[in-house]
C-alpha cells in the first residue's frame, strides 16, 4: 500500500512551468531508486493524455501503462511549490505528488489520503506550509468519524461459538475496508468485555484503516466464559472517534435497553439506537457507471461540479446497499467508494431538489463525466429493469439438432444413459409489481420463506447422500439470510409486492456473486437463483410440470440442485444441460446420486422435441441425438460391459498397474482433505499424488498456525502407512481468495496474483506451512510441490526457503518439485528439470492457459479439452526434459482419469497418474490393458492431428 511520510516531501521547490516541475519529480523518484530515468517520458505522456490536476492546488503526476516497466519499486515523492506552478486550464499547483506504481495503486492512495478534499479549499494552507509534517496533516485531514452503518450490522448470524461470532464481526470490518488482514489476529478473545444483558465488547488498535464499529448477533444464544452472548460489538479503534457512540451505548445499557439491540430484526433499529448512519427516505435514481477506469479523480470532479449546481444535500451509494451513501459534493468520499466500471450508482436527493437534480446527475454519468466511454454489455442494463429476470437461454435463432448428430460437451457425471428427452423450461412467473400494504406483503413473504424452508427440510430428511444434505443445508442458510430479507423488506416498504421485491433482490445478490471472479463461487449464484425460484413459485402458487413414468433424460438450460435432488433415480436415466460446468452443485449431486450427466452442451439442446431419444456418455461428455437401433444396441452392451468392467476393476484395485509389456505406472489419489485419505487407500491408492491444502486454511478464521497444520498433515501421513505424499502448497489468489487474506479486485484473476506468486508475497505464511510439512514427515516420504510456477526465479525463491528450513528440520525422504500448469513452465522444462526433483502436470489449468479458454465458461468449457495436440505437446516436452535428468513426472489433472487420455499419457512417458479415489480401480484396469510400445505410436500420431475432437476419434478407432 502506498503511504505518505514526511521524509518523502521536498519543501520549498520552484519551477517555471509544468514541464520543469515534472523533471524535478522524475529526478526525485530516480534519486530514491523508485524508477528508471525513462519514467520521465511516462509522466509527460500522461499529462499529454489529460491533466493530472486533482483540485485544491494538488496534482498527482504518474506514468502510463507503457512505462510501468520503468518502475523499480512502488512509492511516492511530493514536491511543494510555494509560488505555484501553472498546470494548465487556469489551475495552479502548490503540491505535486509524483507516483511510481506498476498498476493502479495510486487509486488506493487517493481513496485513503484525500479525505480532506471536501468542499473547503486547502490550496492556501499548502502554499504557506513551512514543515513537511504540516503537509501530511493537511492531506490526512481532520480526525475520522466512526463508521457505523448497515453494512457493519449482521443480525441472527449463524455461529457455533463466541470465536466464530467474533470472526463474523471481523469479516464485516474487512468487507467495509475498515481494517487490514492482521486485525483479527490482534483481537484477544480472553479480553472480551461483558457489557451486561448478553452484550459483549471487543476492540483493537492494530491494522486499523479507519475507526468503525461492527455489531453482530447470533442466530441462537451462545455463551462465553460462562455468561450468555446475545450480541457482540467489535471496534476498530483509532483516536477518540468512538467516544460519543460509547457514551450513547452506556446510556442505553443503564436504561436497560440492551435487549432491544440483541433482539433487533432490522439494522435500522440498531443504527437509530446507537446514532449510526441511516438512509434518508428520499427520492432515488439509478445509473450504471461506464467509465473504463471507474470513478477516479477526473470524472469524480465533474460529478461534484454537477451536484454543486443544486443547493441541497445529494448523496450517492452503490446500488444494492442500503446505507445513507456519501455526499456527491465530496471528492474524497466519492474516491473512497472505489466504484468500478459496470457498477450501478444510486443517487438520493432532498425532496425539494430531487425532481431537478436526479435526471441531471443520471444524464451526466451516462455521458461519461467528461470521458469518452464504451457502451456497457446489454445484460448490465437489465440490473436496472424490473422485474429481475432469471437468466434463460434464447433458442429462437439456434438451429435444431438432427437425428444422428453428435455433440461434444462437458462430462459431469459418469455412466451411459438412454431415454426420451423431457425438455423442461422454467416456470412462467407472472406477478404484479405493486403490492398491497407492507404488512400484508411481509406476511406473505415470511410464509413463503417458512414453507420453502420446510420443503428443503423434508428433502434433507429423505436424502441418503451426505453431499446432497450439505448443499440443501446451505440453501436453508440462504433462506435465513437476514441481510437478504432486510433488503427485500426495504423494497416492500417502497410499495413493491413480495414477489417483485424478492425477485429483484435475489437477482442483485446473484449478480454480485457472479462478479467475484471465482469460478466456484460464481457457480453458487445458480444455487441462490434456485432458492429464489422456489420461493417465487411458492408466492404465486406455481406448480412444476409432471415428469413421465418411463425412464427419461432431463434436458434443461441449467439444472438447479433442487431439480436434481428431487428426481426419482429409477425414472431419470440422465441429465443434459445447455449451460453449467462440472463443478456446479447440480453436477456434484448428479455424481453423488449416480445419474449420468453432461453439461454445457449449448442452447440447441433446448430445441429438442419431447420424446426424442438421446444417448448420453457421461464419461466422455458426448451426446448423440436419435441414434439408430444399431447404435442403441451398442450403447446398451457398452453399459453392461462398463458395469462388469467396474466390478472386475474393483476386485483388483489393490494390485499395481502394470502394462502388458511390463511398464509400472503409479496410480495415486487427489485429495481435498485429510479425512479422505483412508478411503483413498482402501480404493487402491499407491500414494497421494495431490493433497490440496486450501481447506486447511479455509476452515479457520485466520491463517492456521504450525501446530494446527501439523495435525492435518500427520493425519494423512499416518493413514498412508509409508506411501508417498505429494502436497501442493497453498494455492489461492484473486480467483479463490481467503476471507482473512483480502486481495484487490483483478481484471483477470486467473492471470493475476495466485499460487506461488501470492505465497512469495507473503513468505511468512508459506514458511509456516513448510515448517509444518517438514515437521510432520518424521521419516516418511514427503513430496512438496509449488503451484503456478512460470518463471525460474519463482522456483528458486521457493526452493531456497525449503533448503533453509530443511537445515533446521531434517527430513530423510524429501523431494521438492513444481506443478506444470503454465505453458511457460513447460517450455522451459529443460532448465527447470535440472533443479527440481519432479514435475506434476495440472492439466486443468494447463489446458485453460494453453487454449485461452476459461474452463468454467458456460459456452466454451466444452472446448477446453486436454487432449488438444497443443496440450499433449507441452506434456511430452515436460516428460522428455524430466527423464533426461532422471526425474519423474505425474499428471494430477482430470485428464489422468480420462480413459481415452490414459494410453496417450503413457505413450508420452508419464510415470504417475493421480485421480479421484473413485477412479483409481478403473484407471489401473485401463493401464493393464495397454502396451507401452503401442501407446508411444498412438501418442506420436496424435500430436500431428489438428484438434482434440480428432484425437478422441483417433484413439477411439484404435482402441
pLDDT per position as a tens digit, 188-238: 888 899 988 899 999 998 888 888 899 999 888 889 988 999 999 999 988
For residue 179, what is the DSSP state? B
CATH of 150-274, one of 3.30.1330.10, 3.40.50.300, 3.30.450.20, 3.40.930.10: 3.40.930.10
Residues 690 and 840: beta-carbon distance below 8 Å = yes
pLDDT of residue 838: 97
Name the active-site residue from 178, 585, 868, 935.
Answer: 585
- Average pLDDT of the chain? 82
Domain(s) of CATH 3.30.1340.10: residues in the chain: 284-384
User: Is 585 an annotated catalytic residue?
Assistant: yes
Concatenating the DSSP letter of every residue in 765-802 gives: HHHHHHHHHHHHHTTS-EEEEETT--SHHHHHHHHHHH
- What pLDDT is attached to residue 856? 54
pLDDT digits (tens, 9 = 90+) for 9-22: 999 999 999 999 99
Arithmetic mean of pLDDT, 424-435: 75
pLDDT band at 393 (very low <50, low <70, confident <90, very high): very low
pLDDT for res 506: 85
Task: Please confirm, yes or no, whether 5 is among the known catalytic residues.
Answer: no
What is the spatial distance between Cα 479 and Cα 492, in angstroms, rounded to a whole number? 17
What is the CATH T-level fold of the domain 406-427+545-631, as seen in this structure? Glucose Oxidase; domain 1 (3.50.30)
pLDDT for 394? 44
Range with lowest mean pLDDT among 65-74, 607-616, 904-913: 65-74
Q: Which CATH number fits domain 438-540: 3.40.50.1000, 1.10.274.10, 3.10.150.10, 1.20.1440.230?
A: 1.10.274.10
Number of residues written out for the chain: 959
What does the pLDDT read at residue 780?
95
**pLDDT for 392 beyond 50:** no
- Give Cβ neighbours of residue 654 (< 8 Å, ≥ 6 apart): 684
Share of the chain above pLDDT 70, in %: 83
pLDDT at 749: 64
DSSP 3-state of 222: strand
Unique residue bearing C-alpha cell 513551512 = 130
pLDDT recorded at residue 334? 76
Parts of the chain belonging to CATH 3.50.30.10: 406-427+545-631
More confident: 600 or 303: 303
Determine the Cα–Cα distance for residues 570 and 127; give it in Å rounded to an integer.
Answer: 82
pLDDT at 384 over 60: no
From 393-397, 429-433, 707-711, 893-897, the region with the lowest mean pLDDT: 393-397
- The pLDDT assigned to 383 comes to 36
Contact by Cβ (8 Å): 202, 234: yes
pLDDT attached to residue 930: 95
Q: Are 214 and 169 in contact (CB under 8 A)?
A: yes
**Coil, strand, or helix at residue 381?**
helix
Higher pLDDT, 838 or 470: 838
Question: Cβ distance 234 to 188 under 8 Å?
Answer: no
pLDDT at 742 over 80: no
Higher pLDDT, 28 or 110: 28
Write the CB contacts of 255 (distance below 8 Å, at least 6 apart in sequence).
none
Least confident of 91-95, 440-444, 503-507, 855-859: 855-859
Catalytic residue, candidates 8, 106, 296, 868: 296
Enclosing H/E stretch for 904: helix 901-907
Rounded Cα–Cα distance for residues 614 and 598 (Å): 12
- Reading the block at residue 590, the C-alpha cell is 448428479
Q: Give backbone dihedrals phi and psi of 496, rounded to 5 degrees, phi first.
A: -80, 155
Closest CA to 866 of 887, 890, 894, 847: 847
Active-site option among 178, 234, 538, 892: 892
Please give the residue that has the higher pLDDT: either 401 or 23: 23
User: Hunting for cell 525463491 — which residue is that?
Assistant: 797
**Per-residue model confidence (pLDDT) at position 466:** 57
Please name the residue ranges forming H helices in 143-214: 162-175, 183-186
Average pLDDT on 530-558 reads 79
Distance in angstroms between the alpha carbons of the first and the last residue of the chain = 58
Tell me the average pLDDT across 707-715.
92
Q: For residue 589, give Cα distances in angstroms to 520, 554, 568, 581, 915.
A: 15, 14, 13, 13, 19
Q: How confident is the model at residue 336 (pLDDT cuts 50, 70, 90)?
A: low
Reply yes or no on whether the pLDDT at 544 is more than 90: no
E strand or H helix at 75: strand 75-88
DSSP 8-class letter at 341: T
Is the CA virtual torsion 69, 70, 75, 79 positive or negative?
negative
Q: Class for domain 666-958, per CATH?
A: alpha beta
Chain segment 98-118, per-residue pLDDT in tens? 888 766 555 555 555 554 454
Number of helices (H), then strands (E), belonging to the chain: the values are 36, 33
pLDDT for 604: 86
Say if residues 318 and 345 touch (Cβ distance below 8 Å): yes
pLDDT exceeds 90 at position 790 = yes
Mean pLDDT over 677-684 rounds to 92
Decide if 8 is catalytic. no
Least confident of 408-412, 500-504, 688-692, 837-841: 408-412
Catalytic residue among 62, 106, 224, 242: 62
Q: What is the pLDDT of residue 561?
A: 59
CA distances from 867 to 181, 826, 912, 914 (A): 42, 16, 17, 17
- Is domain 6-140 in CATH 3.40.50.970, yes or no? no
Is the CATH number 3.40.50.1100 carried by domain 284-384? no
Average pLDDT over residues 652-680: 91
Judge whether 296 counts as a catalytic residue.
yes
What is the tens place of the pLDDT at every residue in 847-892?
A: 988 998 765 554 565 567 889 999 999 999 999 999 999 999 999 9
In the chain, CATH 3.40.930.10 covers 6-140, 150-274
Residue 51 pLDDT grade (very low, low, confident, very high; cuts 50, 70, 90): confident
Beta strands in 414-565 (DSSP E): 416-423, 552-556
Q: List % helix, strand, coil for the chain (3-state, nearest 5).
A: 45, 20, 35
- Indicate if the pLDDT at residue 738 is higher than 70: no
pLDDT band of 520, cuts 50, 70, 90: very low
Q: pLDDT confidence of 141, banded at 50, 70, 90?
A: low
pLDDT above 50 (res 57): yes
Rg (CA), the chain: 31
145, pLDDT greater than 80: no
Taking a C-beta distance cutoff of 8 angstroms, is the pair 698, 731 a contact?
Answer: no
Torsion angle (degrees, nearest 10) of CA 813, 818, 819, 822? -170
Amino acid at each position: 500500500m502506498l503511504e505518505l511520510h514526511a521524509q518523502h516531501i521536498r519543501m520549498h521547490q520552484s519551477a517555471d512551468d509544468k514541464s520543469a516541475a515534472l523533471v524535478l519529480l522524475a529526478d526525485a523518484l530516480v534519486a530514491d531508486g523508485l524508477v528508471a530515468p525513462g519514467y520521465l517520458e511516462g509522466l509527460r505522456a500522461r499529462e499529454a493524455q489529460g491533466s493530472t490536476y486533482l483540485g485544491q492546488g494538488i496534482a498527482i503526476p504518474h506514468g502510463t501503462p507503457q512505462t510501468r516497466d520503468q518502475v523499480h519499486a512502488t512509492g511516492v515523492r511530493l514536491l511543494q511549490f510555494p509560488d505555484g506552478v501553472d498546470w494548465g486550464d487556469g489551475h495552479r499547483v502548490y503540491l505535486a505528488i509524483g507516483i511510481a506504481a506498476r498498476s493502479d495503486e495510486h487509486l488506493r492512495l487517493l481513496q485513503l489520503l484525500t479525505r480532506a478534499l471536501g468542499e473547503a479549499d486547502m490550496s492556501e494552507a499548502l502554499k504557506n506550509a513551512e514543515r513537511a509534517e504540516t503537509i501530511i496533516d493537511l492531506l490526512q485531514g481532520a480526525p475520522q468519524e466512526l463508521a457505523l452503518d448497515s453494512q457493519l450490522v449482521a443480525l441472527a448470524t449463524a455461529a457455533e461459538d463466541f470465536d466464530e461470532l467474533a470472526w463474523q464481526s471481523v469479516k464485516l470490518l474487512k468487507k467495509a475496508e475498515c481494517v487490514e488482514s492482521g486485525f483479527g489476529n490482534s483481537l484477544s478473545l480472553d479480553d472480551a468485555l461483558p457489557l451486561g444483558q448478553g452484550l459483549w465488547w471487543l476492540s483493537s488498535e492494530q491494522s486499523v484503516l479507519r475507526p468503525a464499529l461492527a455489531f453482530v448477533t447470533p442466530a441462537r444464544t451462545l455463551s462465553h466464559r460462562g455468561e450468555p452472548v446475545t450480541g457482540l460489538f467489535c471496534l476498530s479503534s483509532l483516536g477518540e472517534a468512538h467516544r460519543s457512540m460509547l457514551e450513547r451505548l452506556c446510556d442505553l445499557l443503564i436504561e436497560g435497553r440492551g435487549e432491544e439491540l440483541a433482539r433487533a430484526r432490522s439494522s435500522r433499529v440498531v443504527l437509530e439506537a446507537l446514532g449510526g448512519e441511516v438512509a434518508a427516505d428520499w427520492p432515488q435514481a439509478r445509473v450504471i457507471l461506464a467509465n473504463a477506469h471507474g470513478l477516479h479523480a477526473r470524472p469524480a470532479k465533474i460529478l461534484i461540479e454537477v451536484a454543486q449546481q443544486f443547493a441541497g444535500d445529494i448523496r450517492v451509494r452503490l446500488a444494492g446497499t442500503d446505507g445513507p451513501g456519501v455526499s456527491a459534493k465530496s471528492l474524497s468520499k466519492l474516491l473512497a467508494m472505489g466504484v468500478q466500471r459496470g457498477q450501478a450508482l444510486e443517487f438520493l436527493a432532498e425532496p425539494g431538489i430531487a425532481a431537478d437534480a436526479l435526471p441531471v446527475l443520471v444524464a451526466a454519468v451516462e455521458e461519461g463525466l467528461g470521458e469518452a466511454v464504451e457502451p456497457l454489455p446489454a445484460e448490465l442494463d437489465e440490473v436496472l429493469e424490473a422485474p429481475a429476470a432469471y437468466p434463460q437461454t434464447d433458442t429462437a435463432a439456434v438451429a435444431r439438432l438432427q437425428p444422428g448428430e453428435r455433440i461434444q460437451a462437458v462430462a459431469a457425471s459418469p455412466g451411459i444413459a438412454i431415454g426420451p428427452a423431457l425438455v423442461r423450461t422454467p416456470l412462467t412467473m407472472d406477478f404484479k409489481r405493486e403490492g398491497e400494504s407492507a404488512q400484508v406483503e411481509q406476511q406473505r413473504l415470511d410464509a413463503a420463506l417458512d414453507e420453502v424452508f420446510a420443503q428443503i427440510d423434508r428433502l434433507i430428511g429423505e436424502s441418503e447422500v451426505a453431499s446432497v444434505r450439505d448443499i440443501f443445508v446451505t440453501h436453508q442458510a440462504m433462506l435465513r439470510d437476514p441481510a437478504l430479507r432486510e433488503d427485500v423488506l426495504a423494497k416492500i416498504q417502497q410499495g413493491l409486492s413480495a414477489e417483485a421485491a424478492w425477485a429483484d433482490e435475489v437477482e442483485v445478490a446473484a449478480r454480485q456473486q457472479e462478479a467475484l471472479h471465482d469460478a466456484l463461487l460464481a457457480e453458487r449464484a445458480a444455487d441462490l437463483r434456485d432458492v429464489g425460484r422456489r420461493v417465487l413459485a411458492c408466492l404465486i402458487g406455481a406448480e412444476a410440470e409432471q415428469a413421465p413414468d418411463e425412464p427419461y433424460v432431463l434436458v434443461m438450460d441449467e439444472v438447479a440442485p433442487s431439480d436434481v435432488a428431487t428426481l426419482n433415480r429409477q425414472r431419470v436415466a440422465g441429465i443434459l444441460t445447455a449451460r453449467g460446468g462440472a463443478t456446479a452443485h447440480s453436477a456434484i449431486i448428479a455424481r453423488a446420486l449416480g445419474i449420468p450427466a453432461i453439461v454445457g452442451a449449448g442452447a440447441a439442446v433446448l430445441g429438442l422435441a419431447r420424446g426424442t431419444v438421446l444417448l448420453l456418455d457421461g464419461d466422455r461428455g458426448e451426446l448423440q441425438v436419435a441414434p439408430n437401433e444399431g447404435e442403441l444396441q451398442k450403447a446398451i452392451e457398452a453399459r453392461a460391459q462398463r458395469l462388469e468392467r467396474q466390478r472386475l476393476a474393483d476386485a483388483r484395485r489393490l494390485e499395481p498397474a502394470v502394462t502388458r509389456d511390463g511398464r509400472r505406472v503409479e496410480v495415486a489419489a487427489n485429495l481435498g482433505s485429510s479425512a479422505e485419505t483412508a478411503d483413498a487407500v482402501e480404493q487402491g491408492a499407491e500414494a497421494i499424488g495431490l493433497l490440496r491444502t486450501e481447506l486447511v486454511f479455509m476452515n479457520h478464521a485466520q491463517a492456521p498456525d504450525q501446530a494446527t497444520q501439523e495435525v492435518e498433515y500427520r493425519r494423512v501421513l499416518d493413514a498412508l502407512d509409508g506411501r508417498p505424499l505429494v502436497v501442493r502448497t497453498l494455492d489461492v489468489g484473486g480467483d479463490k481468495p481467503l476471507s482473512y487474506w483480502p486481495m484487490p479486485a483483478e481484471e483477470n484473476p486467473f492471470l493475476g496474483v495466485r499460487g506461488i506468486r501470492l505465497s512469495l508475497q507473503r513468505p511468512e505464511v508459506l514458511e509456516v506451512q513448510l515448517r509444518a510439512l517438514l515437521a510432520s514427515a518424521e521419516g516418511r516420504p514427503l513430496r512438496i510441490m509449488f503451484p503456478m510456477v512460470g518463471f525460474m526465479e519463482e522456483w528458486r525463491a521457493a526452493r531456497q526457503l525449503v533448503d533453509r528450513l530443511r537445515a533446521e528440520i531434517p527430513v530423510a525422504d524429501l523431494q521438492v518439485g513444481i506443478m506444470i500448469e503454465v505453458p511457460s513452465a513447460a517450455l522451459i522444462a529443460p532448465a527447470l528439470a535440472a533443479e527440481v526433483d519432479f514435475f506434476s502436470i495440472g492439466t486443468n489449468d494447463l489446458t485453460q492457459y494453453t487454449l485461452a479458454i476459461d474452463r468454467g465458461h458456460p459456452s466454451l468449457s466444452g472446448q477446453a479439452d486436454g487432449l488438444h495436440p497443443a496440450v499433449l505437446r507441452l506434456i511430452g516436452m515436460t516428460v522428455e526434459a524430466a527423464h533426461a535428468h532422471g526425474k519423474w513426472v505425474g499428471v494430477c489433472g482430470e485428464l489422468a482419469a480420462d480413459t481415452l487420455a490414459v494410453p496417450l499419457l503413457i505413450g508420452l512417458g508419464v510415470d504417475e497418474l493421480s485421480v479421484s479415489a473413485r477412479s483409481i480401480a478403473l484407471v489401473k484396469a485401463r493401464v493393464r490393458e495397454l502396451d507401452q510400445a503401442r501407446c508411444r505410436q498412438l501418442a506420436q500420431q496424435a500430436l500431428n492431428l489438428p484438434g482434440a475432437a480428432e484425437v478422441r476419434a483417433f484413439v477411439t478407432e484404435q482402441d
